[in-house]
Structure 1
Amino acid sequence: MAVRNLIVLNNPDHWTFDLDEVEVVSARDYLSDSRYASIKNARVFNLCRSYRYQSVGYYVSLLAAARDHRAIPTVTTMQDFKSQTIIRTIAEDIDALVQKTFSDVPQKEFVLHVYFGQTVRPVDRFVGRALYNLFQAPLLKVNFVFSGKWLIQQIVPISIAQIPAGDREHICDFARSYFSRKRFPKSRIQQYAYDLAILINPDEPNPPSCRKALKKFVEAADKLNVYTEFITKADYSRLSEFDALFIRETTLVNHHTYRFSRKAHAEGLVVIDDPWSILRCANKVYLAERLAQAGLPAPRTVILQKESPKNTPAEMGISFPCVLKQPDSAFSQGVVKAGNETEFYEKLTGLLEKSDLIIAQEFMQSEFDWRIGILDRKPLYACRYYMARGHWQIYNWSGAHSRRFGKSDCLPVEEAPADVVQTALKAANLIGDGFYGVDLKQIDGRVVVIEVNDNPSIDAGVEDVVLKGALYDAVIRSVIRRIEGVKIECH
């Protein structure tokens, strides 16, 4: 079914450009005419004069979402424009590009206009496209100020009437270029039931899934009638083309992976990893408190702050050896061991330069860690990850590449110790109903939770040894159930 591109304005007479690719509609008609409510496949470009809360422009995007139309901007984007903190956090990914582009600008402040992802000055085109990808609105005005470096002071969507007179001659060409090359949606020989985006970073040294595993996800999806496409951080503006997002890049909160998850969820896509799971799992301060509140066994944990080095280890409840962790550490990075008081203060001082809070935990030596994969609140796989040779962690980032990783083995869930599996399930259920990898240790009959990962590794020849292709099928089937569950709830 062809997608209808609707440009919605308060007054259609303000749109004076002749484009075959679009249909110009008044906001009043879009909100009240049943013809538009019944359209099954539409993209709504909202050019109303105001997006303030409960304005006509606000309701155009709100009803577009309710009708399963793709709105640009979404209500979530409208809310983002109001927060300077959100704006600057989202724009961090393009900071280097901004500084380079405007390095020769002599004044201390200036305004950049972005029209359908393009700019009037060719030198600004890359920044303009990047800003559009981050803050999707057809027409944008961005105020920059220089305070040691260039910062976005304000970014707001504008209406047709607010376009400077000198820029109006460019708008028709920009709009025609935009709509003529936009992919709505791809032509495919096979008509798939659903579209799944898999977010990856081709340059990541230790991604959650190796290339062979990614290929197996694609094969499983194809078999289950789901179209898959690998996307990267550059594809932020394309999320609305898909029904679901599967993140196979290491997730962090202050990172584009979280912004992808958050935007996808806001636009109604099924998301693994969902934004709340990233928030909860990515911070070990939260995890430590959550496990303690639930009474689940964990290593003895102390939360340290900037003032903590003023006290002795004994006063802080620290015994040696101990493990110090950055709250957002992942894949054993940002995790160090202190064997005595001197090492403790030295390593704590270094970590406190990066974070106001640090986790200190008792060191629990073991030959291996258990990893129980949990999907949809059910155990999926069980693995043992052995410590890297001559090292106390699974990953030894300072070792030679051939000795960097410990060995692993995978076994049927029913053959793993029952108390390990049940403890893992309880820990994962504290986070949500997504896809998790729970790390545990079993020492002298005692099972303790080390952490819950929202983005567990799935590598060919490791986690899939027992289930083989069924492991990949299970993940894709979960995506399908979630998509169909959402559709049922919406109707």
Structure 2
Amino acid sequence: MRKIVIVNNLKDWDFNIDEVEVVAAQAYLTEPIYTEIKNARIFNLCRSYKYQSTGYYVSLLAEARGHRAIPNVTTIQDLKSQTIVRSITNELDELIQKSLHDIKSRVFTLSIYFGQNVAKKYEKLSKQLHDLFQAPLLRAEFVFNKEWILHNISPIPLNEVPESHHRYLKDFAKAYFARHRFTGAKPKTKCYDLAILTNPLESDPPSNRKAIQQFIEAGQSLGFSCELITKDDYKRLSEFDALFIRETTSVNHHTYRFARRAHAEGLVVIDDPVSILRCTNKVYLAELLSKARVPIPKTMIIHKENRDQVITELGLPVVLKRPDSSFSQGVVKVTDEAGLKKELDHMLELSDLVIGQVFMPTDFDWRVGILDKQPLYACKYYMAKDHWQIYNWEGKKSEVSGNAETFPIGEVPFHVMHTALKAANLIGDGLYGVDLKEINGQAYVIEVNDNPSIDHGYEDLLLKKDLYLSIMKSIKRRIEIQKNIPNEQAS
């Protein structure tokens, strides 16, 4: 892979590094030779990334040409938003406090050159910030107000690097460009590289170990080189052609950042960031499903001004859901007025909006797995022992979940299947699990999951290896569509 550094003025880059080309921005934008390059990584060191500036267009056109740009347009946009910056760096809070503990001033600026700082004691923090915001040169500004807060992070124009730092800049650049991930030297024995994001420490992951192994074997049978990655591999995403997330997703979480980054890098992603955003927020789902006239339990969006109307509107018992609840966590049933007040006091401290729904008791919930807008599998999940949900996280370990029963697609009642497909297709064409209750010949959608459970011995009971193969085939097909490979070459 060609490594090309783009600068506004060739004089801005005054040193040579093996196998690194230096090109003026105007030349990259206008000369046909750079349009024809098939395999290149573009390191955008322009002086400004402002909207419609030369630097902005370098990253934008690199993406259009199929080149990998650092920073890409998504990163450029992220750097402009304090909200996104705070969200993305949320997990670094402990490291920030530890790294800046001895600083006496109330403001501190950290200069990050290719992931490093001239002071070794800030090396880990510099590396982590660079991994999250992959721009070659960054300036992080921290403010102390009871604790250190990342106030702003922005690119450093190459011509503004102090003269005294140039020797460090050169050494850091040499180390950066020497990394194996930029050389393209890895032997290509498989057609595509697939990253499967997992969390080895997660107590109840979406897929158990045997299922993960089945995914790997199915992928390998189609020519994938499959690699299990964790949250520590964020900076390596550009090495892969696709990302398959098998860790419980959430928006304010590294899983969403992985999905967002992978999508920005041009990877095929399941779960894609839009699906994560839509499925993990119950307020959005309630509004979306209601507007599309998809049957759901009678629902009320509760806030501080209307909380006194809940019993009048929904009665008791009532089910309360945090907007970001999943797999029965953050979902409670209240049976009396005192319990309702207590739970709403707690939930409305965490979120301005809470979902309230009429309680609809059933012995089981349907789960219909859907991929590419087509049904994939169907199960009945029975309620946990002596509990009103399919999961009881406060029960004994052996009784956390109830029994499950897998059904052929053709045996699922029409109204259940029709409702599940209608709900999932409102989200997208990814991999979803639609949970429904069936009462008196009517199906009601409880939620749409972007990261449905697929465990060995449960969801795969009927399809066996074909279940895993179907998902891997979908990922391969998406890659080939994205790479414009003719249909006759796809398999």
Aligned to 2:449: 453
The one of 354, 361, 377 equivalent to 1:358 is: 354
Q: How far is 1:29 from its partner? A: 2.3
Aligned to 1:126: 124
1:389-446 C-alpha deviation (Å, 9 max, x unpaired): 1111111111111111111121211112122111101111111111100001112322
Q: Which runs of 5+ in 1 are unaligned?
A: none
Q: TM-score, normalization: structure 2?
A: 0.95
Aligned to 1:338: 334
- Kept in 1, the 8 Å contact 2:415–2:442? The answer is no
Aligned to 2:374: 378
SS at match of 1:299: coil
SS at match of 1:128: helix
Q: Which moved more, 1:265-274 or 1:137-146?
A: 265-274
SS at match of 2:181: coil
1:429-471 C-alpha deviation (Å, 9 max, x unpaired): 1111111000011123221111111111111111111111111
Aligned to 2:489: none
**How large is the RMSD of aligned CA atoms in angstroms?**
1.7
Count residues in correspondence: 486
Aligned to 1:410: 406
- Kept in 2, the 8 Å contact 1:313–1:341? The answer is no
Aligned to 2:232: 234
- Kept in 2, the 8 Å contact 1:437–1:454? The answer is yes
Aligned to 1:138: 136
Q: How far is 1:364 from its partner? A: 1.2
Output the CA distance in 1 between the equivalents of 2:82 and 2:445. 38
Amino acid at match of 2:95: L
Q: Which moved more, 1:481-490 or 1:120-129?
A: 481-490
Q: How does 1:165-244 map to 2 (within 5 A)?
A: 165-184=163-182, 191-244=189-242
Output the CA distance in 2 between the equivalents of 1:321 and 1:180. 63
Q: Which moved more, 1:26-35 or 1:450-459?
A: 26-35
Output the CA distance in 2 between the equivalents of 1:73 and 1:187. 22
Change (3 A) 1:187 1:402: farther
Q: Which moved more, 1:267-276 or 1:96-105?
A: 267-276
Output the CA distance in 1 between the equivalents of 2:137 and 2:145. 26
Output the CA distance in 1 between the equivalents of 2:477 and 2:338. 53
1:10-65 C-alpha deviation (Å, 9 max, x unpaired): 22233222321312222222223333222221111111111112222112111111
Output the CA distance in 1 between the equivalents of 2:423 and 2:64. 35
Q: Which moved more, 1:223-232 or 1:423-432?
A: 223-232
Amino acid at match of 1:321: P
- Kept in 1, the 8 Å contact 2:181–2:236? The answer is no
Q: How far is 1:475 from its partner? A: 0.7
Q: Which runs of 5+ in 2 are unaligned?
A: 487-491
SS at match of 2:176: helix
The one of 418, 422, 429 equivalent to 1:426 is: 422
Aligned to 1:286: 284
- Percent identity, please: 56
Output the CA distance in 2 between the equivalents of 1:36 and 1:475. 36
Output the CA distance in 1 between the equivalents of 2:309 and 2:102. 52
Aligned to 1:55: 53
Aligned to 1:93: 91
- Kept in 1, the 8 Å contact 2:415–2:441? The answer is no
Output the CA distance in 2 between the equivalents of 1:37 and 1:290. 42
Aligned to 1:263: 261
Aligned to 1:436: 432
- Kept in 2, the 8 Å contact 1:119–1:128? The answer is yes
SS at match of 1:20: coil
Aligned to 2:251: 253
